[in-house]
Amino acid sequence: MTLRRQVQFWLLSLIAFILFMTVFSAVLLPFVAGMALAYLLDPVADRLERMGMSRLAATLSILFAFVLVLGIVLILLVPVLGNQMLGFIDRLPGLVRSLQSLITENLGDRLTKVSGLSVADLQSSLGDIMSKGASWLGGLLNSVWSGGQALLSILSLFVITPVVAFYLLLDWDHMIERIDSWLPREHVDTVRSLAREMDGAVAGFVRGQVSVCVLLGLFYAVSLVLLGLNFGLLIGIGAGLVSFIPFVGAALGLVASMSVAIVQFWPDWPWIVAVAVVFGVGQFIEGNILQPKLVGASVGLHPVWLMFALFAFGYLFGFVGLLVAVPAAAMVGVLARFALTQYLASPLYRGTGRSTEQSVASSANDE
């Protein structure tokens, strides 16, 4: 009966959480963003406290520096990226037509032999595929840009989020102590162990992956701009930001940059190869330096599970769901591993109703 009541309690809690997210998802963004900001900056505040600063002074200093840096970045980058995105959207149809012409002129004979289609049918098929892809990409970029403008125009995101982050960061340790006092005393050690594992998984991935995305975005953007690639800043930063989804950011950035490079530099192959080398070097740096150093191998988030969580939470709860997806995926992964460990140690897995010690004792008596 106790186990049944516990299962019922947690199921009802899960249902209440889903209903809360569904009903209030439209107004949760500044609060979730403030909570995430406080969580990310809490280790910095703890370090400043150990250096002799009060919690209030440490919180004010951290948030002031963060808001200042964020404001400078937005002032410098948003206008440039906005102009590049609008220019990319305007030139996308012409880019697609030029790319189609280059493909049919240089690879048309080989493609007709492989596919069995005539040149006219091949051009028509390529045109349909590229036009549909261009229209989809243009619509996506338009929605991202308009959504970004709407996001930036929401005054609450810049007013409420720092206020929420300030109060949460100021009282973070007290809140953790209060929540710890609510834990059931019978299972307090188990819950604390799971909470520490969840915190390690979330902190290891989120804090590390944010650093990886920023560094990769800077590398891609600077390299592509130095090569003179059109829209290099936009493509590089976009590829870096999407790198939190394994392999997706590099793949999208490579496809977009190679398409632009082929149209821009053809037939100068060295420049086209140089663009491909940039993403090859970026993947090498990410896989061999950034990921092991900043994220580590103990996070326990499988790439497929991470992508599913991002798509599922984004579909259900929108942009707020994307913010919650990674911590939720890490927590569910920790709970799933704990449940599997409990199952493997239970009589249900062993196929008997007795424990291992009872089975050994019974076998000894039989002998």
pTM (2 decimals)? 0.66
Q: Both tokens of residue 337?
A: 């591993």
- pLDDT tens digits along 65-81: 888 887 787 777 777 77
pLDDT at 322 over 70: yes
- pLDDT tens digits along 138-180: 555 555 444 444 444 455 667 778 888 888 888 888 888 888 8
Of 356 and 15, which is predicted with more confidence?
15
Place of tokens 């290891």: 204
* C-beta atoms surrounding 1 within 10 Å: 5
Place of tokens 């996308």: 92
Of 91 and 215, which is predicted with more confidence?
215
Nearest CA to 224 out of 277, 266, 180 is that of 277
Of 156 and 52, which is predicted with more confidence?
52
Q: Is-contact 356 350, C-beta < 8 A?
A: yes
pLDDT at 34 over 50: yes
Q: Both tokens of residue 251?
A: 């793949």
pLDDT at 109 over 80: no
Residues 239-255: what's their mean pLDDT? Answer: 79
Secondary structure string (H, E, C) spanning the chain: CHHHHHHHHHHHHHHHHHHHHHHHCCCCHHHHHHHHHHHHHHHHHHHHHHCCCCHHHHHHHHHHHHHHHHHHHHHHHHHHHHHHHHHHHHHHHHHHHHHHHHHHHHHHHHHHHHHCCCHHHHHHHHHHHHHHHHHHHHHHHHHHHHHHHHHHHCHHHHHHHHHHHHHHHHCHHHHHHHHHHCCCHHHHHHHHHHHHHHHHHHHHHHHHHHHHHHHHHHHHHHHHHHCCCCCHHHHHHHHHHHHHCCCHHHHHHHHHHHHHHHHHHCCCHHHHHHHHHHHHHHHHHHHHHHHHHHHCCCCCCCHHHHHHHHHHHHHHHHHHHHHHHHHHHHHHHHHHHHHHHHHHCCHHHHCCCCCHHHHHHHHHHHC
- Residue 223's pLDDT band, with cuts at 50, 70 and 90, is very high
Of 239 and 246, which is predicted with more confidence?
239
Nearest CA to 218 out of 292, 275, 282 is that of 282
pLDDT at 115 over 70: no
Q: Give me the pLDDT at residue 343, please.
A: 82
- Residue 132's pLDDT band, with cuts at 50, 70 and 90, is low
Q: Both tokens of residue 346?
A: 């239970």
Taking CA atoms, 6 is separated from 3, 15, 16, 153, 209, in Å, by: 5, 14, 15, 45, 35
- Chain mean pLDDT for the chain: 76
Q: Give me the pLDDT at residue 148, please.
A: 47
Q: Give me the pLDDT at residue 277, please.
A: 92
Q: Give me the pLDDT at residue 296, please.
A: 60
- Residue 360's pLDDT band, with cuts at 50, 70 and 90, is very low
Q: Give me the pLDDT at residue 219, please.
A: 92
Of 260 and 124, which is predicted with more confidence?
260
Q: Is-contact 14 144, C-beta < 8 A?
A: no
Range with lowest mean pLDDT among 156-170, 217-231, 273-287 = 156-170
Nearest CA to 250 out of 206, 216, 225, 290 is that of 216
The Cα–Cα gap between 106 and 231 comes to: 25
Q: Is-contact 211 176, C-beta < 8 A?
A: no
